[in-house]
Amino acid sequence: MVYLKTLNCVALAYGLGSIKSAQLLNNGKTSTTWQVKTVSGQFIIKTTKSSYQANLEFAIGNAVRKINSNLTPEILLSEENEPFFLIDDKVYQVQLFLEGTKMQPSLQGAVKSCRQMRIALDSFDNSFSPTDSNPLLALWFAQKDALLKQQPLLFQQIMTFLPELKHIDKANEVWIHGDLGKWNLLVTETKRVAIIDFGESRRGPRFMDDAALFQGFMPDNPQDFPAYLNEFLALSGIPFTNCHDFLMTALLWLVKGLLIAIGEQSSLSDVFQNEIAFVVQRV
């Protein structure tokens, strides 16, 4: 197989020895990820958008690991002392494989890890930030007609908040993970919650990562939402005086998720619609 030959070249460039086996984990729009086993152990090999992106993820990962070495897997340096390797103009990155479990992360564990990550990102200094891969305006113009046709009442509801959501979406207050859904949380065998995949990291709204976590643990019953909101704010250390800003950022995250779902996975639209309704009632 051609890809196995390429992965073997990457492994050798990192001094990891020959690959014994390789499993494709994800083949996304901007990155492809494999889990590989070599004579040296198990590793993750993935493609990145550019050498700049590889250097950025390496720097962010190191900053996070300085706060807690168990918080995210280590990205390795090649034998040329670079955090990436080029083959045919494609950029490959290698990181240690972190063994996960089938356990779902707890709210308390996830928030604890997020707060530790926040400490690292608040002190992270980089002169250039990537742009948002899913800006609200682009999503809105692409899907607003479909939303109006499918959910006219929801369309009007979102229109009411659109000016404030656009303002928040353009904020570049802090460095953020940018995609902190449950899919990027990993519960280890020691029951720690690790954070993976900083491929969407950029400068953005202060509460965006909190908003992503907030969605991941939202209750199904709307009657449970007020208590959940209070618990989340307390655990996250978000002052109640910032509750409106936080909820509007959560609404931004959900609206963007809804618009992406309409374009790519319409079966999830109802989930986002219900969660948007929960948040709107409290704004």
Give the domain ranges of the chain: 2-96, 107-280
Query: pLDDT 10s per residue in the chain (283 long)?
Result: 558 899 999 999 999 999 999 999 988 777 899 999 999 999 999 999 999 999 999 999 999 999 999 999 999 999 999 999 999 999 999 999 999 898 999 999 999 999 999 999 999 988 789 999 999 999 999 999 999 999 999 999 999 999 999 999 999 999 999 999 999 999 999 999 999 999 999 999 999 999 999 999 999 999 999 999 999 999 999 999 999 999 999 999 999 999 999 998 877 888 899 999 999 998 8
Q: Tell me, what's the pLDDT at 28?
A: 76
The rounded distance, in Å, linking the Cα atoms of 179 and 161 is 22
Q: Looking at the domain 107-280, which fold is it? A: Aminoglycoside 3'-phosphotransferase; Chain: A, domain 2 (3.90.1200)
Q: Tell me, what's the pLDDT at 277?
A: 92
Strand runs (DSSP E) across 81-148, as ranges?
85-87, 90-96
Q: Tell me, what's the pLDDT at 3?
A: 80
Contact 174, 122 (CB under 8 A): yes
Question: Cα-flanking dihedrals φ and ψ of residue 15, to 5°?
Answer: 70, 30
The rounded distance, in Å, linking the Cα atoms of 255 and 250 is 9
In b/e form, how buried is each residue of 198-231, taking b as 16+ CB within 10 angstroms? bbbbbbbbbbbbbbbbbbbbbeeeeeebeebbee
Q: Tell me, what's the pLDDT at 1?
A: 57
Nearest to 90 by CA among 36, 24, 46: 46
Q: Kindly state which CATH superfamily the domain 2-96 is placed in.
A: Phosphorylase Kinase; domain 1 (3.30.200.20)
